[in-house]
Structure 1
């Protein structure tokens, strides 16, 4: 049996840098879209078409595909099997299925648009854009497969570049073909999807070899895939609810919701970097029956995620107008758009802790030889809450509040289920540190409000930086006073791993 050194601080740092670069390009992408197209019926139409890659990405890149394939590749590597046989037995069949699904989506675009956004103002434009974005089903699937294989072999650099490649494709096409309107952005989504595959091919071939002609057939276990896919699609269902309800509101409402969500989710995604890097190690600990090691890994990931997200939530709540103004208010994006987006973002950010907890904890239930249905059932409850609360009469802010409430409910249910999971972890293991971090976030937010009121009249950039610094100082002071030795220990352990 072969052993592999677990990922450490170097891998996490490299992944964080590349993911951060991808998000910076994502900011540039959103800024460019806002500046070029603003927030109107055209951008609403594009965002309805964008639901295809928005659904495919968590399902085929970071979600179901990773949860299914990383354990499969990790177990093969642990047993010393030739992973090339696994690739040749699974990749061709998966490619055929994804190609067929892309073609079906493109052909059925008129029906999908009518189903997802029945009140959309420019349905024809949405259909045209969706036929381009349908390509991402195939491309994201191939990219996710390659990412899972590489991460299972502790290669994290190329998988972390996929966001860079994706956003570069969109930005380049918008800059070069902006005369086509938002269709240029849809073309860019397709081009970016191709780029996500291309940036991983060299490392994939070097590490695993060229996929050969299948000598045997190994169908991916549907019994393992279905509960993971169900959870992922249900989680994405919150976006479906936003677009469905938002299509009946004033023009630009879907766009305001999208811009607010994209900005607010950046710290949440960054908070999951440690969990992404440690996922193969978590798989091995659970497979070996080492519940103590798995529990420590999960606790460390939760603390790291909560620290980042709670501080970021305070900054987003206090400085939302400054952030939106600095990032988006150019060209066609007006002051009224800034006000609407900032209001939504403040409310949406209240669900970021729930988003991060769900992203970390669900992995425990998918690491076993047979993934659990528990996360999917928890997400059903959260999605049900979102549907019940997202009323058209409450406007975009009400939709954002429904989203935050639904994902928070899901997080609570998942935490409660840890006791019965493979690691048997009681919630009290993380309750104390979580309470201290929450207290620090509340104090930091109050300090931020006070600092921001004193900075009135300064340029948005200066006010944002100074208020954020005041909040960070308050957060660090409270965590030091309340005792965060456990968190410091976690940082030192990650540096040695």
Structure 2
């Protein structure tokens, strides 16, 4: 169902682009709207797909390991601050729309129109941020359907307002639709997120007034049992709602909390279940990983601070006569979030480079680049579904220190995602003119625009594998950083190198070679491919020991299959002749996957027939494998030491038994 909803979002995106092309064509007005559309594109990457997901999905996954109450505490500590920051950011962008447009596209034909559209689309900073937060919460709970459906709602808002107001507002109607679509993304996910937060009705926290959770006052027989002096009773749980301040909620600084009652009695403030009176161990003692950015304390420390264990309720008094320090609860430190945000911004900056270079060319070039990129990236969107679903698995494996399970999952993700995107790229390259003619050539979008867009799309397709590998490889990087509570700047550095290559190659292609829009697309493909190579090499040495000897041959086989499938699809699409784009697309859709699958089957059969070769000197692991071999040697040494220790203990026990038997006989 997740795949169907994701595909539905892509189909709705195509319908949106078809409508914009039919109503407004590919000219200077469309270019102005696309410059304003840069804000929601950057916001989508930063706040929904990459930065927000890569930080919050691992954070919520780790919080779930400590119980649902940890998730609520995490949400209560982070969401209000995030909401305020997003609102301020949206207002600042709307106020600075004029200089922003002149910086992004200095050669634009109608900058005033772009400024108006930018002020409308700036609200997506707020709505996309909230939508991304809710998506991360739901994905961590393994609820993938609502986040997968948000782009259906988003595109529906754009289509509805473009149809309703297009005659009177022109291209500004599409910008207003972007703002409405962002709001629909939030409203779609909100009921599901609230249901997850209401999962445990005995939760008592600062979100109670908003969620309206009933908190009955109950006592159990264990609560009335006598307590040993200086300690907590057998059923010492939360037996009544905390007495909260009217304005302060039940969070930090509120008097009368359950943790304060524990501390005043001098007992252990470790959490207990309020219903059954079962004592619960702290996360560290129970073998659960701590929540990133949330202070992990022992039972004694919780008693000193008056913390009510799993519920995360802190009192303002702590021990009797002592003022506890104010503990701030955050999702993760700025040091962990900053590399993710910088990476996402640098990746989205490729689009900024393209539009900056395209604004100096003839009107319509930015539109050609946009339409070509949107269609060409459909295979990448489908392939990234695999990584979206498996991200919590990788995050949990890295949090538990199980790098072997994480390695196996990452290697499988790389192979499967590459297979999906390369098969789609082969079809895009083979049938590009026919696809664009079927999708867009109507209304204001003519044959010249079709030819220009198809040429750009074929070049874009060359970088689809790089885009998919980058999206797959960066997830374990940031998941490992979140689990280890330390930042990783390598992905940002790799993306910076790719962006530099994109900018330099684009300037050469446009200013010196005169290649125009296809040259910009080629620079994009070169830059993202370099980033993918650097990330693949860096992941092995820093996070997960991915086997390059296993991954690279698989990728090579997939590239070979895609090349042969492209040739066959190109030939099949040309059989119907001009004037039959639908037939050409159908023949290409049959030929490309058939040849792709046949080549892979032939390669697999050949590998099964080949005998296993003994390891030669050239295949001896190099220094890149030293850390893996060292770990294996250390494991064998530790096992040997443990075996020797067990033997010694057994010998001592046997000697003691012999002595006891001798004394008994005497």
- The 5 A counterparts of 1:133-172 are 133-172=121-160
What's the CA shift for 1:457? 3.9
Question: Cα 1:81–1:467, aligned 2, differ >3 Å: closer, same or farther?
Answer: closer
Distance of aligned partners of 1:153 and 1:205 in 2 relative to their CA distance in 1, 3 Å threshold: same
**In 1: Cα distance, 2:109 partner to 2:250 partner:** 48
Residue of 65, 76, 84 corresponding to 2:63:
76
Of 470-479 and 29-38, the range deviating more from structure 2: 470-479
User: What TM-score does the superposition give when structure 2 sets the normalisation length?
Assistant: 0.70
Note the C-alpha offset of 1:484: 7.6
TM-superposed deviation, 1:15: 1.4
- Please tell me whether the aligned partners of residues 418 and 426 of structure 1 are also in contact (alpha carbons under 8 angstroms): no
Tell me which moved more, 63-72 or 475-484: 475-484
Q: CA deviation at 1:418?
A: 2.0
Q: Does 1:416 align with 2:537?
A: yes
Q: Distance in 2 between matches of 1:285 and 1:296?
A: 11
User: What does 1:66-145 correspond to in 2, within 5 Å?
Assistant: 66-80=53-67, 82=69, 83-145=71-133
CA displacement at 1:154 relative to structure 2: 0.7
Once the two structures are superposed, residues 291-311 of structure 1 have per-residue CA deviations (whole angstroms, 9 ceiling, x without a partner) of 111111111111111111111
- In the TM superposition, 1:167-246 aligns within 5 A as 167-179=155-167, 180-209=169-198, 212=210, 215-216=251-252, 217-220=328-331, 221-246=333-358
Specify which of 316, 331, 334 is matched with residue 443 of structure 2. 331
* Corresponding residue SS for 2:479: coil
Which structure 2 segments of 5+ residues have no match?
199-206, 211-248, 253-327, 608-666
Report the alpha carbon displacement of residue 456 of structure 1 after superposing the two structures with TM.
1.9
Q: Distance in 2 between matches of 1:485 and 1:77?
A: 46
**Match of 1:387?**
503
Q: How does 1:298-337 map to 2 (within 5 A)?
A: 298-337=410-449
Following the alignment from structure 1 to structure 2, what is the Cα–Cα distance between the partners of residues 485 and 186? 54
1:450 pairs with 2:486: no
Instruction: Judge conservation of contact 1:89–1:214 (CA < 8 Å) in 2.
Output: no
CA distance in 1, matches of 2:158, 2:250: 35
How many residue pairs match? The answer is 473
Please say which structure displays the higher CA radius of gyration: 2
- CA-to-partner distance for each residue in 1:387-418, whole Å, 9 max, x for gaps? 00112333111000000100001001111112
Structure 1 stretch 281-290 or stretch 103-112: which is displaced more?
A: 281-290
1:356 aligns with 2:468: yes
Superposed displacement of residue 371, structure 1: 4.0
Asked whether the equivalents of residues 74 and 153 of structure 1 are also in contact (C-alpha less than 8 Å), the reply is yes
Distance 1:170 1:204 in 2: 24
Q: Is the Cα–Cα contact under 8 Å of residues 88 and 214 in structure 1 kept in the other structure?
A: no
* 1:37 corresponds to: 24
Picking from 517, 523, 534, the partner of 1:396 is 517
- Partner SS, residue 515 of structure 2: helix
| 1:167 alignment partner, SS class | helix
Q: Select the structure with the greater relative contact order (CA < 8 A; seq sep ≥ 6).
A: 1
Shift of 1:75: 0.4
Q: Distance in 1 between matches of 2:113 and 2:61?
A: 44
Using the size of structure 1 for normalisation, the TM-score is 0.93
The RMSD of aligned alpha carbons is: 1.5
Runs of 4+ in 1 over 6 A off after TM superposition: none
Q: Is the 8 A contact 1:365 1:371 kept in 2?
A: no
After TM superposition, list the pairs within 5 Å mapping 1:43-58 onto structure 2.
43-58=30-45
Q: 1:6 matched to which residue of 2?
A: none
